[in-house]
Amino acid sequence: MSPKGLKGLSLVHGYQDSRLISSHWNMKRCAALIDLNGTLHVEDMAIPRAAEALERLRKIRPVKFVTNTTKESINVLHNRVTGCGFRIAKDEIFTSLVAARNFVEQRKLRPMLMLAKEALEDFEGIDTSNPNAVVVGLAPSEFHFEKLNDAFKLVLNGAELVAVHKGRYYKRDDGLALGPGPFVAAIEYATGAKAVVVGKPESAFFRMGASTLGSDIDLANTVMIGDDAKDDVLGAINCGMKGILVRTGKYRKGDELQIPQERRNCVESFAEAVDIIENGAVL
Same fold, 12-68+201-278 and 108-197: yes
Domain ranges of the chain: 12-68+201-278, 108-197
Domain 12-68+201-278 has what CATH class?
A: alpha beta
**Dihedral (C-alpha) 11, 12, 17, 20: value to the nearest 10 degrees?**
-90
The architecture of the domain spanning 108-197 is 3-Layer(aba) Sandwich (3.40)
Read off the pLDDT of residues 14-57 as tens digits, 9 standing for 90 and up: 334 544 444 444 578 999 999 999 999 999 999 999 999 999 99
- For β-strands 41-42 and 160-163, DSSP reports them as unpaired
What pLDDT band is residue 231 in, cutting at 50, 70 and 90?
very high
| 7 pLDDT higher than 80 | no
Q: In this model, does residue 119 exceed pLDDT 70?
A: yes
Cβ density class 239-264: b for 16+ within 10 Å, e for less: bebbbbbbebbbbeeebbeebeeeeb
Residue 225: which H helix or E strand, with range? strand 223-226
The share of the chain scoring above pLDDT 90, in percent, equals 86
Q: Which helix (H) or strand (E) holds 16?
A: strand 15-16
CA 252/CA 100 separation, integer angstroms: 28
Model pLDDT for residues 257-269, shown as the tens digit of each residue: 999 999 999 999 9
Q: How many Å is the Cα radius of gyration of the chain?
A: 20
What is the structure's pLDDT at 69?
87
Q: If 0-12 CB within 10 Å is exposed, 13-18 middle and 19+ buried, where does residue 197 land?
A: buried
Picking from 173, 181, 194, the residue whose alpha carbon sits closest to that of residue 68 is 181
